A and B are shown apart, each in its own frame.
Chain A
Amino acid sequence: MMNAAFPQIRLVPIRMLKPETAERLLNMLAGITGIRRMMVQGPGLPKVVPYGPARGSPNPHSDRKAIHIADAEVALRVQVGMVILEVEDASVIEEIRSLCDDFFVEFPYLLQEGKFMKTAPTLVDYAKYGPDADTSLVGLTDPRIGESPVIIRTEQ
């Protein structure tokens, strides 16, 4: 069982980020020790038009591309609107805050503390993944997509 006491925060820039900016931000965050889990959230950019008269036709979008975070490649499927983080303790939050204050210069951002991602598997997670599911990965990805989270290894 995950420790529910780990603090969680949410970074909400006042503008939605381009992939290049998101890449810079996430790389900056990846350099911080003490981040346990990280999730990127925003409105989806599907590969094909999901509904309407043009349903099923390809949907080229310049913001749907792969970005590199530390040693990992992440295929963005959303326009980055928020970054949700789970950290080891409150001192990490302050470090993130001071870095973000320098990062967001063209437009403001919000750093909110609260509960933003799952800390324990729900009944549905149990039904979906069984009793032996890795609880640290539960709730990190869209279960309908079937892709697992990307693991970023940082130099210790």
Chain B
Amino acid sequence: MAYKPQYGPGTSVVAENRRKQMNPGQKLEKVRSVTDEDIVLILGHRAPGSAYPTAHPPLAEQQEPNCPMRKIVKPTEGAKAGDRVRYIQFADSMFNAPSQPYQRTYTECYRFRGIDPGTLSGRQIVECRERDLEKYAKELIETEMFDPALVGIRGATVHGHSLRLAEDGMMFDMLQRNVLGEDGIVKYVKNQIGEPLDRAVAVGKPMDEKWLKEHTTIYHSLVGTAYRDDTEYIEYVQRIHSLRTKYGFMPKEE
């Protein structure tokens, strides 16, 4: 019987969203469009239009050792061209942001190839070849995994995910990389590490509360779905917790 991943337990909308994001068979809803040049500007790794700097010669020009693994695993576009490894990092507010660090890592591992995600409590970084990174970043920003107000693209000084929101609904950012304009559109005025951009990059309007509540992957008893209301999830987590605690004593399921 072929293995079919279940992605996660739970009956709540949050659990459903988590499964949806992780399942590569499900297409993520495209919510906004950001041009390739805008992505390059926000990332700040190279000037838009410039050639990709390389870390090694393209694989086609290299003498590859006779290795069975290399024959099975096809290199990604970036690896093929010998691109540098670069990163994008996100900070997600706890107030119903559409994704969160662990979720991002799971999702990326299921959906993308050739990545190295790093998961922390308030931020999540993903490293990969530059060419692939731009492709993945575009997907992460354009789809329902992103919200202009509650998700920050922050390479450094990420503080803010657990703070109260500002009056206008924006997540706190010490470097104010993104600002909510008079027209209601959020624009990035600095790249992800806080260097001012030559022109502002619009990433669309913040989503409304109802949409966020329906698309979030974070449990929050005050502003969203309470964790304790999802009994199946609790049962699963308690089972894992119990089993791993008993692990040293050779657990046997009753």
Residues of A near any B CB (own CB < 8 A): 13-18, 21, 43-46, 49-54, 57, 59-63, 79, 81, 106-107
Contacts and interface: CB of A to CB of B under 8 A. Distances in A.
Interface string B153-187: 00111011001111110001011100100000000
B193 A54 contact: yes
B195 interface: yes
Interface of B: 155-157, 159-160, 163-168, 172, 174-176, 179, 193-196
B194 A59 contact: yes
Contacts of B166: 15-16, 18, 79
Contacts of B195: 54, 57
Given A49-B157, A52-B156, A79-B172, A57 B163 contact: no
Q: Is the interface of B mostly helix, strand, loop or mixed?
A: loop
Nearest to A20: B167
Contact of A62 (B155, B174, B179): B179
A10 B172 CA distance: 21
Contacts of A79: 166, 172
Contacts of A51: 156-157
A52 B157 CA distance: 7
A128 B49 CA distance: 56
B156 A53 contact: yes
A54 B166 CA distance: 24
